């Protein structure tokens, strides 16, 4: 929170309101005058883009729920009813489905921006951890949403993912039945997923509010990672960043609209146009693309480790891949934030990025031949990067000299 | 400007990340056709849809239902272009089950869904040697083809959505009288099944459904004579199935053009606004 | 969370005001760009909002049943049937000449909601009385061939209707509603 207030009530009504509920003061301080580093690049617009994505999903989702029927006999046809009969239903449904993919595209960019510029470092650890929790909850929400159309992929995705919990020793089987509400995925599962899929986005929205609160305590990181020193380093959020974010959002809507209007099914899977059938599994079951990296890690463990069998091992590995993200602030203890000034880190970062794309690609491939080996290599590097490379680099790497301030850095650029 | 370029590169990267769509595995590569409804400018060819409907009605409909299609859809915008009167007359030719009327059946009206050829799924299986003839409503989107690297990446930029129709057309043309030499080694055709190049596992329960000159087309006014061949029938019925699966394709794309135009205009204006605002700020 | 909504509206209003103030102090070109961007944005916002509201309207499958055709041939004189139209029950009565005579002989001055029998039927088809079967009081379905006026009687709150479906006694304020309909042929009627 900024120390001194910049808000002066303009008239009697504003003053009256300000003494009772200072929303206008809050908005002025946090959404208009908030001092923001003036050197933020376009990678920093993805926060605003993500707020937009969440809004789009909530609005279209509420509408879809008005027309959808969560029942195993009716769900599939009710989604088709939305596409065929509801006014504008094809577009609204496509926006929600494509929106999930766009949401994750933006999420991954936002996370990778953070990892490169060291935004997770002190004093922004809580801000970062809230972000990772939002990411995990968003994956849960997306997964449950994918079950709702009750196609073949919905059903078998639900079966496979809920089976993850059966790996837990002793209580696994009971937990599995508890989650499914039956011995197999069925009507109770569909109903609870619908209920939770409706609830989670609001939980996520609340966490986003905390995330932004946590952002406004220390303020934004910036591409050079040097703290704001004076008001010369910053500009007010409005109009500078409101306009820049708005511009980026509209640019983001272009590929978004392309998929909605010209290829609404290309991000999905043909098998999900076949109604769920508990007797037949589709030949390839593949999760949605945004879950693939973690799916690869889950599958990569196909061997027993001591008393841990391969199934539990895979689940632990997948869990650890999230834990690794959560503890990054304490693994990477280098004092320099930005990857721009870390000559060795930069290359490992690129390797990590390629490795992550590799994990995504491998998740869509059949688990056979060379793909199995590659999946193990990529999984191994994922963990090595977090638990070996980052701690070691923080000790041995010699960073490049840092600019003394943001103003100096931007002036240098202008005169170069 | 470099920043904008990196941004665009990121968008391209993000889209290329998205995994290829898998679909029914085919041994022989499926030949992609040039469909009138492909691409961003593609629309359905009314005459082709009407021919495809005729093939569906005279040949396929005795086993394959279309439970999500209502008769009224046939007169809706962007579809086969039948008139309201034609649809009304057509619907009246069918009996639909309606428990609220005396006798439980009545003549169809445009609002009715396409009547199912079999009362239950078990009846359908019993009449077809244990195989279930799939419903046609969304079948064209429930099938696809596997594109090798790198063409699946290009598909995101061309909006290729015709994998299902390409597969269906190929399937209808993929029959052999006897197990061909191209069959997998040691392939034995089970009793009551037929060999098909493109069906997963090659043994399909459906007998070759189409023969030359089986359906008599009446050419529309000013339309050239259409050949009465299996290939023509297969192409037409596949196109009709695409319409059944995606009846709003034409209006969806039309809206898309308006939206795209708006987005480019608005993005351009916002860019100018943003540049004006940031003028004089070193950043 | 709650504070974000008013906060956001405040930003939009004050934010645009700030922009406009800045525009005021600068060149016309800048002014033009701001105004054009704002206007195009407003058009876009409206174009997005409308489909989000329009989806609440009756969908295509509902609209397809907004107008139905009904064959009257099967109803004998003195009988009525109840059919469904737009989810509402509709009475179709084949009236006897006596009923018609009874309805037409009532002076309008005796009616609570004055309307002639001719106004409630189609010319040349006086034997057919078609009306929505919900009592105009609070929506119950009246019982046929009963009440003090040989028409309908609503058991919920005791409204009596005559052989033309007009309110004669009881709490209902108006006559039973005649839906829009037309005769396609002598026995085929299109309602809606």
Beta carbons within 10 angstroms of residue A29's beta carbon:
19
Q: b or e along B104-133 (b: 16 or more beta carbons within 10 Å of the residue's beta carbon)?
A: eebebbbbbbbbbbbeeeeebeeebeeeeb
Given this model, what pLDDT does residue C10 score?
60
Say whether residue A266 is in contact with chain B using an 8 A CB cutoff.
yes
Helical pair A370-384 and A292-300, crossing angle rounded to 10 deg = 100
End-to-end CA distance of chain B: 13
Report the C-alpha gap between A79 and C15 in whole angstroms: 40
- Chain B CB contacts of C41 below 8 Å: 266
Beta carbons within 10 angstroms of residue A204's beta carbon:
21
Architecture of the domain defined by B28-69+113-273: Orthogonal Bundle (1.10)
A59, B88, C127 from B56: Cα distances, Å: 39, 18, 45
Contact yes or no for C182/C124 (Cβ under 8 A): no
- Chain C CB contacts of B276 below 8 Å: 30, 33-34
Cα nearest neighbour of A82 on chain C = C59
Across the interface, whether the CB atoms of B20 and A364 are under 8 A apart is answered: yes
Interface partners of C (3+ CB pairs, < 8 Å)? A, B
Q: Hey, CA dihedral for A316, A317, A322, A326, is it positive or negative?
A: positive
Q: Which two tokens stand for residue B60?
A: 């396929």
Query: Among B21-25, B198-202, C13-17, C48-52, where is mean pLDDT lowest?
Result: B21-25
**Pure H helices in A217-342:** 242-262, 292-300, 310-331
Q: Is C157 a catalytic residue?
A: yes
Interface of A with B in 202-231 (CB under 8 A): none
Closest residue to C55, CB basis, from A24, A87, A209: A87
* Residues in chain C with pLDDT values less than 50: 1-3
3-state secondary structure (DSSP) of residue B136: coil
Distance of CA C179 to the CA centre of its chain: 9
DSSP letter (8 states) at residue A343: H
Given this model, what pLDDT does residue C9 score?
59
Q: Which residues fall within 8 angstroms of residue C59, CB to CB, at 6 or more apart? A: A67, A81, A85, A86, A87, A89
Residue B23 has pLDDT above 60, yes or no: no
Report the C-alpha gap between A312 and A304 in whole angstroms: 9
Return the closest-CA partner of residue A253 out of A82, A55, A65, A113.
A55
Closest residue to A238, CB basis, from C6, C18, C62: C18
3-state secondary structure (DSSP) of residue B269: helix
Q: Which two tokens stand for residue C24?
A: 């005021």
Residue B3 has pLDDT above 60, yes or no: no
Across the interface, whether the CB atoms of C64 and B70 are under 8 A apart is answered: yes
List residues bridging with A199 in a β-sheet.
none
- CATH code of the domain occupying A34-415: 1.20.810.10
Distance of CA A182 to the CA centre of its chain: 31
Return the closest-CA partner of residue B69 out of B49, B48, B42.
B49
Which ipTM value was assigned to this complex? 0.93
A61, A176, A273, A291, A309 from A167: Cα distances, Å: 32, 9, 30, 19, 9
Residue B119 has pLDDT above 70, yes or no: yes
Return the closest-CA partner of residue A236 out of B2, C35, C11.
C11
Q: How does pLDDT run across B162-195, given as a tens digit for each residue? A: 999 999 999 999 999 999 988 898 899 999 899 9
End-to-end CA distance of chain C: 47
Across the interface, whether the CB atoms of C68 and B109 are under 8 A apart is answered: yes
Say whether residue B151 is in contact with chain A using an 8 A CB cutoff.
no
Given this model, what pLDDT does residue B22 score?
37
List residues bridging with C152 in a β-sheet.
C161
Contact yes or no for B49/B239 (Cβ under 8 A): yes
Contact yes or no for B235/B172 (Cβ under 8 A): no
Contact yes or no for A117/A339 (Cβ under 8 A): yes
Return the closest-CA partner of residue B202 out of B231, B168, B179, B227.
B179
Across the interface, whether the CB atoms of B274 and A243 are under 8 A apart is answered: yes
Report the C-alpha gap between A325 and A386 in whole angstroms: 8
Q: How does pLDDT run across A259-308, given as a tens digit for each residue? A: 999 999 999 999 999 999 999 999 888 899 999 999 999 999 988 888 88
- The percent of residues above 90 in pLDDT, for chain B, comes to 73
Report the C-alpha gap between A345 and A351 in whole angstroms: 10
Given this model, what pLDDT does residue B150 score?
85
Contact yes or no for A372/A302 (Cβ under 8 A): yes
Closest residue to B263, CB basis, from A80, A253, A283: A253
Closest residue to B269, CB basis, from C30, C37, C47: C37
Interface of B with A in 170-189 (CB under 8 A): none
Report the C-alpha gap between B141 and C177 in whole angstroms: 47
Residue B279 has pLDDT above 60, yes or no: yes
Q: How does pLDDT run across B136-157, given as a tens digit for each residue? A: 999 999 999 888 888 888 999 9
Across the interface, whether the CB atoms of B262 and C47 are under 8 A apart is answered: yes
Compute the nearest-CA separation of B139 from chain A (Å). Answer: 7
Say whether residue A412 is in contact with chain B using an 8 A CB cutoff.
no
Residue A75: exposed, middle, or buried by beta-carbon count in 10 A (0-12, 13-18, 19+)? Answer: buried
3-state secondary structure (DSSP) of residue A275: strand
Mean pLDDT per segment of 10 residues, for chain A of length 416 residues? 68 93 92 94 97 98 97 97 96 97 98 97 96 98 97 95 90 94 96 98 98 96 95 93 97 97 94 94 90 95 87 94 97 95 96 98 91 96 97 96 91 61
Say whether residue B61 is in contact with chain C using an 8 A CB cutoff.
no
Report the C-alpha gap between B90 and B83 in whole angstroms: 11
Given this model, what pLDDT does residue A229 score?
92
Report the C-alpha gap between A260 and B49 in whole angstroms: 24
Cα nearest neighbour of C43 on chain B = B262
Across the interface, whether the CB atoms of B270 and A247 are under 8 A apart is answered: yes
Contact yes or no for A220/A397 (Cβ under 8 A): no
Give one DSSP letter per residue of chain C, joined into a string.
Answer: -TTHHHHHHHHHHHHHHHHHHHHHTS-HHHHHHHHHHHHHHHHHHHHHHHHHHHTTS--HHHHTTSSEEEE-TT--TT-EEEEEETTEEEEEEE--HHHHHHHHTS-GGG-SS---HHHHS-TT-TTEEEEE-S-TTT---PBSS-STTEEEEETTTTEEEETTS-EEESS--SPPPPPPEEESSSSEEEE-
Task: Please compute Rg for chain C using Cα positions.
Answer: 28
Task: State pTM to two decimals.
Answer: 0.89
End-to-end CA distance of chain A: 36
Given this model, what pLDDT does residue A87 score?
96
**How many cross-chain Cβ pairs, A to C, lie less than 8 Å apart?**
70
C38, C79, C80, C137, C192 from C140: Cα distances, Å: 53, 21, 18, 8, 21
Contact yes or no for B74/B81 (Cβ under 8 A): no
| Residue boundaries of the structural domains of chain B | 28-69+113-273
* Rounded mean pLDDT, B199-226: 89
- Chain B CB contacts of C68 below 8 Å: 109
Q: Which pLDDT band, with edges at 50, 70 and 90, does B100 fall under?
A: confident
Compute the nearest-CA separation of A359 from chain C (Å). Answer: 36
Given this model, what pLDDT does residue B129 score?
87
Given this model, what pLDDT does residue B24 score?
39
DSSP letter (8 states) at residue B176: E
Given this model, what pLDDT does residue C178 score?
94
């Amino acid at each position: 929170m900024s120390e001194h207030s910049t808000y002066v009530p303009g008239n009697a009504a504003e003053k009256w309101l300000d003494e009772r509920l200072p929303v206008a003061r809050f908005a002025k301080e946090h959404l208009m005058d908030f001092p923001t580093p003036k050197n933020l690049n376009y990678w920093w617009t993805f926060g605003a883009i993500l707020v937009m994505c969440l809004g789009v999903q909530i609005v279209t989702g509420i509408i879809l729920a008005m027309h959808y029927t969560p029942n195993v006999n009716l769900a599939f046809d009710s989604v088709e009813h939305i596409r065929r009969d509801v006014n504008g239903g094809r577009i609204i449904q496509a926006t929600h489905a494509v929106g999930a993919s766009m949401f994750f595209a933006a999420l991954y960019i936002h996370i990778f921006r953070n990892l490169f510029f060291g935004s997770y470092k002190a004093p922004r650890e809580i801000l970062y951890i809230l972000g990772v929790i939002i990411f995990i909850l968003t994956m849960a929400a997306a997964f449950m949403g994918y079950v709702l159309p009750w196609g073949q992929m919905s059903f078998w995705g639900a079966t496979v993912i809920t089976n993850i919990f059966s790996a837990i020793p002793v209580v696994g089987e009971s937990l599995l039945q508890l989650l499914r509400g039956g011995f197999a995925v069925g009507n109770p599962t569909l109903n609870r997923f619908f209920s939770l899929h409706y609830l989670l986005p609001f939980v996520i929205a609340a966490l986003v509010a905390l995330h932004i609160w946590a952002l406004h305590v220390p303020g934004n990181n910036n591409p050079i990672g040097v703290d704001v020193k004076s008001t010369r380093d910053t500009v007010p959020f409005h109009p500078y960043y409101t306009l820049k974010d708005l511009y980026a959002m509209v640019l983001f809507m272009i590929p978004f609209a392309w998929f909605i209007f010209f290829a609404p099914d290309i991000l999905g899977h043909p098998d999900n146009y076949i109604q769920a059938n508990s007797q037949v599994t589709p030949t390839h079951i593949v999760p949605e693309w945004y879950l693939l990296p973690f799916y690869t890690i889950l599958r990569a463990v196909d061997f027993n480790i001591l008393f841990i069998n391969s199934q539990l091992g895979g689940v632990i590995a997948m869990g650890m891949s999230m834990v690794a993200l959560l503890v990054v602030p304490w693994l990477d203890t280098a004092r320099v934030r930005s990857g721009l000034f870390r000559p060795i880190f930069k290359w490992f970062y690129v390797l990590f990025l390629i490795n992550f794309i590799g994990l995504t690609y491998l998740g869509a491939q059949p688990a056979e031949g060379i793909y199995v080996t590659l999946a193990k290599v990529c999984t191994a590097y994922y963990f090595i990067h977090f638990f070996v490379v980052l701690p070691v680099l923080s000790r041995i790497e010699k960073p490049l000299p840092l600019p003394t301030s943001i103003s100096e850095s931007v002036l240098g650029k202008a005169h170069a | 400007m470099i920043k904008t370029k990196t941004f665009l590169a990121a968008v391209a990267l993000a889209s290329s990340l998205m995994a290829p769509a898998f679909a029914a595995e085919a041994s022989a590569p499926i030949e992609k056709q040039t469909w009138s409804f492909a691409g961003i400018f593609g629309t359905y060819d009314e005459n082709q849809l009407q021919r495809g409907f005729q093939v569906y009605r005279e040949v396929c409909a005795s086993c394959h239902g279309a439970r999500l299609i209502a008769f009224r859809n046939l007169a809706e915008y962007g579809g086969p272009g039948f008139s309201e009167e034609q649809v009304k007359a057509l619907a009246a030719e069918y009996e639909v089950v309606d428990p609220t009327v005396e006798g439980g059946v009545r003549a169809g009206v445009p609002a009715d869904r396409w009547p199912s050829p079999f009362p239950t799924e078990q009846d359908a299986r019993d009449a077809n040697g244990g195989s279930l003839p799939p419903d046609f409503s969304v079948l064209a989107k429930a099938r696809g083809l596997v594109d090798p690297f790198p063409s699946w990446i290009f598909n995101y930029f061309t909006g290729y959505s015709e994998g299902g129709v390409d597969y269906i057309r190929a399937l209808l043309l993929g029959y052999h009288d006897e197990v061909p030499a191209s069959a997998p080694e040691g392939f034995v055709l089970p009793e009551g099944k037929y060999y098909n190049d493109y069906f997963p596992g090659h043994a399909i329960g459906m007998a070759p459904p189409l023969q030359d000159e089986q359906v008599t087309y009446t050419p529309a006014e000013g339309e050239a004579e259409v050949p009465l061949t299996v290939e023509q029938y297969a192409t037409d019925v596949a196109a009709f199935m695409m319409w059944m699966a995606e009846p709003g394709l034409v209006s969806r794309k039309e809206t898309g053009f308006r939206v795209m135009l708006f987005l480019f205009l608005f993005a351009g204006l916002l860019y100018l606004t943003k540049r004006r605002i940031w003028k004089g700020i070193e950043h | 969370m709650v504070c974000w909504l008013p906060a956001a509206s405040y930003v939009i209003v004050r934010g645009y005001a700030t922009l406009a103030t800045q525009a005021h102090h600068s060149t016309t070109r800048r002014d033009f760009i701001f105004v054009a961007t704002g206007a195009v944005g407003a058009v876009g916002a409206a174009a997005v909002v409308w489909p989000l509201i329009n989806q609440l309207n009756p969908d295509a499958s509902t609209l397809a049943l907004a107008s139905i055709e009904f064959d009257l041939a099967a109803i004998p004189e003195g009988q009525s049937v109840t059919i469904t139209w737009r989810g509402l029950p509709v009475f179709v009565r084949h009236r006897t000449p006596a009923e018609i005579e009874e309805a037409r002989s009532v002076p309008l001055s005796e009616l609570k909601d004055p309307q002639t029998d001719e106004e409630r039927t189609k010319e040349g088809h006086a034997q057919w009385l078609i009306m929505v079967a919900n009592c105009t009081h609070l929506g119950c379905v009246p019982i046929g061939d009963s009440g003090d006026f040989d028409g309908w009687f609503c058991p919920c709150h005791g409204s009596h209707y005559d052989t033309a479906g007009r309110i004669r006694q009881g709490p209902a304020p108006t006559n039973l509603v005649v839906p829009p309909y037309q005769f396609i042929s002598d026995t085929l009627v299109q309602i809606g």
